[in-house]
Chains A and B, each alone.
Chain A
């Protein structure tokens, strides 16, 4: 069996992911490129006697090295030297798509041009003279319709042919006399002074890229002679051409493209994206645009919450059943630490998180639908003006919306922001979007302290407070640590498409998986640790001899009362409670006692743990957000002001461990993770302090 490595390159929205899925089916895995957070998708495609290892490069418009994605793609192509590069092109939008192809022609790699979206280009009346176009561009052309699996056999056949022959495009892009001369001058010096570098990069290409203002490659040059020549050449071109050299080069590339296209493309009917234009006229309409946007957001949340209710109930019963089943493996009434660990620690912790999977999946389903139809980029377009007012930009909208589901995929979604400052600000404020893990806290407290009639308003108020604080924080960050201009908003608005079931499902599952992974790893570990903290050390000597007293008790109520007293003593003796007491002086000013403090330590690890932990300190045993007895106890112990303070504190304070971990990974530095952790916790304290003291002053909700 012969093995080949095939790279898939292409513009965003060219259908690259669809083609990749068609070729590899289920045999794919997602990782990261070494050292950076750019996603690397790989998969195997077996064809005849060949094993094709397909690598999906990030979707980019260019290889200009202005973003991490572009640098990663370029380095992969140079370092790995794939046997074939398949460029996926949106054939209905050929000129701009060919711009990337031209840069691959410059790299002299064996190429195949895949004219995808043939159905769309046909419908628009575009006709290609493929034979001639293929000759002019120097690479074989294959037509395909990705979403209908059409053209895949031909593609595989061509891949094998090109890989065997290693045929490289023989065409030459003409850069014009001035540029050619300067490229030559620089490349001569490169051959002389940078012998190591040109073993890696072809001298001519490297010289052209240096003129193309590739700062990443420029950093690799050590020879002063080369740098001096580069400066000289740049000045000459700027004088002769009246523009930066990279713009001169872009002009030449587009010149080459339009030359090739003029001779070979005919548009028989003048028909543009009519349907898309009509939808845009409504959806981004001056008057209707915003109401439609708000309505769709409302629909998204309505849809997520109502439809997830039933499956969440099923999952809850399932975990209840599982806990009972595991308990039944031990003799009834026996006490075993292992049993307690499995039932209270593992199932209680991980199960409590997994219960939210339906909620998350539905939210991501809605988000994927908006992304795959093309509405999401319109939402960013509509929101941009408002977002820039607070120091963010339109594209930050998508991660923020995702944040209502789970911060982990939301922070990963900030990858679409190419500017580092924009990206960091968005990443840091995303946790203020109240994620679904904070929901059980609200669902426990709101019914306990508020009348049915105002419950929805309280809930809505909490969410709104989060959004409001996110805006304030973004604004502060933009004018302090991340001072600077907001980056230009150049974003493609792809035509509207009917989403495919498969595409939407894959999208949704990929995002939800992050959440499940978090439950299986971080939360599992933390649940176990927390369980130990709230179980040990074990008190052996009690203030009363409970065992005897319980046996002597005559009625059930007394017995129960004594059991609870015993549990309370046990709990108070444990490490968790001691830590809770230790931090009591710090949380006293915001209205919390050590019991809430102990639960907050749990919430520190993962928000979902708060409710369960509160149940443990109040010796209620198994609790969830529907636990009526816990609500009664809480109502006796605290006023509604404290309940509001708990919710406010949990909303703002340090996000869960998994979020911190992703922030560290995605920002590339533990400092930002620490900043987020400390910053949010301090802010939570301050805001809660204000709430508590204002409330106390007016004696609101103090009972």
Chain B
């Protein structure tokens, strides 16, 4: 299951971050790394980007990039 497949209010645990290096590193800095728990909030009105919550704060990520993040639904 990929992060991009999740819909609002679903919760998931990150299994693998397969993004390219710079982004993977940036996401790790922001707390989105293997083992982190993610809550998905409603997408932007036009369907993209996604609105995510990690470590208790909110941030955005495009579906295109979320496609490379493997998750396990909780």
Which residues of A approach B to under 8 Å, CB–CB?
A: 61-62, 64, 66, 92-93, 95-96, 99, 213, 243-244, 246-247, 250-251, 254, 272, 277, 280-281, 284-287, 289-290, 381-382, 384-386, 388, 394, 488-495
Contacts and interface: CB of A to CB of B under 8 A. Distances in A.
Interface string B19-54: 101111111111101100000011111111101000
Contact of A489 (B17, B56, B60): B60
A492 B57 CA distance: 8
24 contacts: A64-B25, A96-B56, A213-B21, A213-B25, A244-B21, A246-B25, A247-B17, A247-B24, A251-B28, A280-B42, A280-B51, A285-B45, A286-B42, A286-B45, A289-B45, A381-B60, A382-B44, A382-B46, A384-B44, A384-B60, A388-B62, A489-B65, A491-B60, A492-B59
Contact of A493 (B19, B27, B29, B51): B51
A213 B28 CA distance: 13
A259 to B, nearest CB: 14
Given A93-B57, A491-B59, A493-B51, A284 B29 contact: no
A251 B29 contact: no
Contact of A244 (B25, B30, B65): B25
Contacts of B41: 277, 280
A488 B62 contact: yes
Nearest to B61: A490
A62 B29 contact: yes
Nearest to B25: A246
Given A489-B60, A490-B60, A492-B58, A251 B45 contact: no
A95 B31 CA distance: 8
A251 B24 CA distance: 12
B62 A381 contact: no
A96 B45 CA distance: 27
Which A-B residue pairs are the 10 nearest by beta carbons?
Answer: A289-B45, A250-B28, A385-B46, A62-B29, A493-B58, A95-B55, A492-B59, A488-B65, A93-B57, A385-B48
Contacts of B19: 488
B60 A93 contact: no
A392 to B, nearest CB: 13
A382 B57 contact: no
Given A246-B28, A272-B56, A284-B45, 9 more contacts: A62-B29, A244-B21, A250-B33, A251-B28, A251-B33, A382-B46, A489-B60, A490-B27, A490-B61
A420 to B, nearest CB: 13
Contacts of B57: 93, 96, 492, 494
Contacts of B22: 66
A446 to B, nearest CB: 34
A254 B26 CA distance: 14
A490 B25 contact: no
B28 A247 contact: yes
A96 B60 contact: no
Nearest to B35: A251
Contacts of B43: 286
B25 A386 contact: no
A284 B23 contact: no
Given A250-B28, A488-B23, A384 B49 contact: yes
A111 B18 CA distance: 35
Interface in B58-74: 58-62, 65
Contacts of A213: 21, 25
Nearest to B53: A272
A493 B49 contact: no
A251 B42 contact: no
Nearest to A380: B60
Contacts of B47: 385
Nearest to B23: A488
Nearest to A100: B29
A381 B28 contact: no
Contacts of A277: 41
A250 B45 contact: no
A250 B25 contact: yes
A287 B45 CA distance: 7
Contacts of B56: 92-93, 95-96, 272
A381 B57 CA distance: 15
Contacts of A382: 44-46
B44 A254 contact: no
B24 A381 contact: no
Contacts of A289: 44-45
A488 B64 CA distance: 9
Contacts of A495: 58
B51 A281 contact: no
A489 B8 CA distance: 19
Contacts of B31: 95-96, 99, 254
A38 to B, nearest CB: 19
A116 to B, nearest CB: 15
B28 A284 contact: no
A96 B62 CA distance: 21
Given A95-B55, A281-B42, A384-B62, A489 B30 contact: no
A284 B42 contact: yes
Listed residue (A96, A284, A488) with the most chain B CB atoms within 10 angstroms of its CB: A488
A287 B43 CA distance: 12
Interface in B3-26: 17, 19, 21-26
B33 to A, nearest CB: 6
B59 to A, nearest CB: 5
A93 B55 contact: yes
A381 B49 CA distance: 7
A256 to B, nearest CB: 13
Contacts of A488: 19, 23, 26, 61-62, 65
Contacts of B60: 381, 384, 394, 489-491, 493
B59 A493 contact: yes
Contacts of B44: 284, 289, 381-382, 384-385
